[in-house]
Amino acid sequence: MTSQQVGLHPKPGEAFLGMPTFTKAAHIALADDQLRRNLGHATHTIRDKRKRVVGELEDWQDLRSTAAAIKDNTLANLDRHLEQFEAAATAAGATVHWAADAAEACKIGIEIAQRHRATDVIKVKSMATQEIGLNEELEKNGIHAWETDLAELIVQLGGDTPSHFLVPAIHRNRDEIRQIFADKMGEVGRPAPADLTDEPRRLAEAARLHLREKFLAGKVAFSGANFAIAETGTLVVLESEGNGRMCLTLPDVLVSVVGIEKLLPTFADLEVFLQVLPRSSTAERMNPYTTMWTGVTEGDGPQEVHIILLDNGRTRALADTTGRQALRCIRCSACLNVCPVYERVGGHAYGSVYPGPIGAILNPLLHGVSEPHDAALPYASSLCGACYEACPVKIDIPSVLVEQRAEVIEDRAERGGPNAEALAMRIAAWTFADHRRLERAQRLAGRVGPAAKYVRRLPGMLGGWTQSRDLPPVPRESFHQWWERTRAAGKEGGR
Ligand code: SF4
CA–centroid distance, 412 to ligand 1, in Å, is 29
Tell me, yes or no, whether 258 and 371 share the same domain.
Answer: no
Choosing from 166, 330, 365 the residue with most ligand 1 atoms within 8 A of its CB, the one to mutate for a pocket test is 330
**Chain mean position to CA 138:** 23
Amino acid identity, position 387: C
Query: 93's torsion region: left (phi>0), alpha (psi -120 to 50) or beta?
Result: left
User: Which residue's C-alpha comes closest to atom 8 of ligand 1?
Assistant: 332
**Reading across the β-sheet that carries 227-229, which strands appear in turn?**
263-264, 227-229, 234-239, 289-294
Tell me, yes or no, whether 245 and 280 share the same domain.
Answer: yes
Tell whether 54 is covered by a domain: no
Tell me, yes or no, whether 216 and 298 share the same domain.
Answer: yes
Tell whether 405 is covered by a domain: yes
The total of other beta-carbon atoms located within 10 Å of residue 240's CB is 17
Tell whether 359 is covered by a domain: yes
**Number of structural domains found in the chain:** 3
Tell whether 39 is covered by a domain: no
CA–centroid distance, 277 to ligand 1, in Å, is 9
**Chain mean position to CA 413:** 28
Tell whether 276 is covered by a domain: yes
Are 477 and 446 in contact, with CB atoms under 8 Å apart? yes
Q: Which of 415, 435, 455 is the last residue of a domain?
A: 415
Q: Which of 312, 347, 362 is the last residue of a domain?
A: 312
SS (HEC) of 69-95: HHHHHHHHCHHHHHHHHHHHHHHCCCE
CA–centroid distance, 354 to ligand 1, in Å, is 11
Summarize the confidence of residues 357-374 as an average pLDDT: 95
Tell me, yes or no, whether 202 and 349 share the same domain.
Answer: no
CA–centroid distance, 327 to ligand 1, in Å, is 10
User: Which residue's C-alpha comes closest to atom 3 of ligand 1?
Assistant: 391
Tell me, yes or no, whether 387 and 468 share the same domain.
Answer: no
CA–centroid distance, 333 to ligand 1, in Å, is 5
Tell me, yes or no, whether 165 and 278 share the same domain.
Answer: yes
Choosing from 333, 337, 389, 397 the residue with most ligand 1 atoms within 8 A of its CB, the one to mutate for a pocket test is 333
Q: pTM for the whole thing?
A: 0.85
Tell me, yes or no, whether 147 and 204 share the same domain.
Answer: yes
Summarize the confidence of residues 437-449 as an average pLDDT: 77
Tell me, yes or no, whether 119 and 234 share the same domain.
Answer: yes
Identify the CATH number of the domain in which residue 115 sits.
Answer: 3.40.50.10420
Tell whether 62 is covered by a domain: no
Tell me, yes or no, whether 301 and 350 share the same domain.
Answer: no
At 7, is the pLDDT very low, low, confident or very high (cuts 50, 70, 90)? very low
CA–centroid distance, 210 to ligand 1, in Å, is 32
Please identify, by atom number, the ligand 1 atom nearest to the C-alpha of residue 330: 7
CA–centroid distance, 107 to ligand 1, in Å, is 30
Identify the CATH number of the domain in which residue 404 sits.
Answer: 1.10.1060
Enumerate the H helices of 308-369 as residue ranges: 314-318, 334-338, 340-345, 356-367
Choosing from 358, 365, 396, 400 the residue with most ligand 1 atoms within 8 A of its CB, the one to mutate for a pocket test is 358
pLDDT tens digit sequence for 132-176: 999 999 999 999 999 999 999 999 999 888 888 888 887 788 999
User: Which residue's C-alpha comes closest to atom 4 of ligand 1?
Assistant: 335
Choosing from 282, 335, 399 the residue with most ligand 1 atoms within 8 A of its CB, the one to mutate for a pocket test is 335
Quote the pLDDT of residue 267.
Answer: 96
Tell whether 48 is covered by a domain: no
pLDDT tens digit sequence for 309-354: 999 999 999 999 999 999 999 999 999 999 999 999 999 899 989 9
Tell me, yes or no, whether 281 and 147 share the same domain.
Answer: yes
CA–centroid distance, 491 to ligand 1, in Å, is 57
CA–centroid distance, 402 to ligand 1, in Å, is 18
Choosing from 329, 339, 400 the residue with most ligand 1 atoms within 8 A of its CB, the one to mutate for a pocket test is 329
pLDDT tens digit sequence for 96-138: 999 999 999 999 999 999 999 999 999 999 999 999 999 999 9
Tell me, yes or no, whether 438 and 345 share the same domain.
Answer: no
Q: Which residues line ligand 1 (CB under 6 A)?
A: 280, 329-335, 358, 390-393, 395
Residues of the chain by 3-state class (helix, strand, coil), percent to 5: 55, 10, 35
CA–centroid distance, 50 to ligand 1, in Å, is 13
pLDDT over 50 at 243, yes or no: yes
Please identify, by atom number, the ligand 1 atom nearest to the C-alpha of residue 356: 4
User: Which residue's C-alpha comes closest to atom 6 of ligand 1?
Assistant: 329
Quote the pLDDT of residue 162.
Answer: 83
CA–centroid distance, 336 to ligand 1, in Å, is 8
Choosing from 72, 332, 381 the residue with most ligand 1 atoms within 8 A of its CB, the one to mutate for a pocket test is 332
Residues 6+ apart with CB under 8 A from 125: 147, 148, 149, 151, 152, 168, 224, 239, 244
User: Which residue's C-alpha comes closest to atom 2 of ligand 1?
Assistant: 391
Tell whether 66 is covered by a domain: no
Are 235 and 301 in contact, with CB atoms under 8 Å apart? no
Are 312 and 131 in contact, with CB atoms under 8 Å apart? yes
Please identify, by atom number, the ligand 1 atom nearest to the C-alpha of residue 165: 5
Amino acid identity, position 38: N
Summarize the confidence of residues 239-245 as an average pLDDT: 92
Tell me, yes or no, whether 392 and 440 share the same domain.
Answer: no
Summarize the confidence of residues 229-246 as an average pLDDT: 95
Q: Do the strands 220-223 and 253-259 form a parallel or antiparallel pair, or are they unpaired?
A: parallel
pLDDT over 60 at 17, yes or no: no
Rounded distance, CA 15 to CA 449, Å? 45
Summarize the confidence of residues 263-269 as an average pLDDT: 97
Are 238 and 226 in contact, with CB atoms under 8 Å apart? yes
Are 355 and 164 in contact, with CB atoms under 8 Å apart? yes
Mean pLDDT, the chain, as a whole number?
89
Summarize the confidence of residues 283-312 as an average pLDDT: 96
CA–centroid distance, 466 to ligand 1, in Å, is 31
User: Which residue's C-alpha comes closest to atom 7 of ligand 1?
Assistant: 329
Residue ranges making up the domain that contains 350: 3-31+334-415
CA–centroid distance, 46 to ligand 1, in Å, is 14
Summarize the confidence of residues 270-287 as an average pLDDT: 95
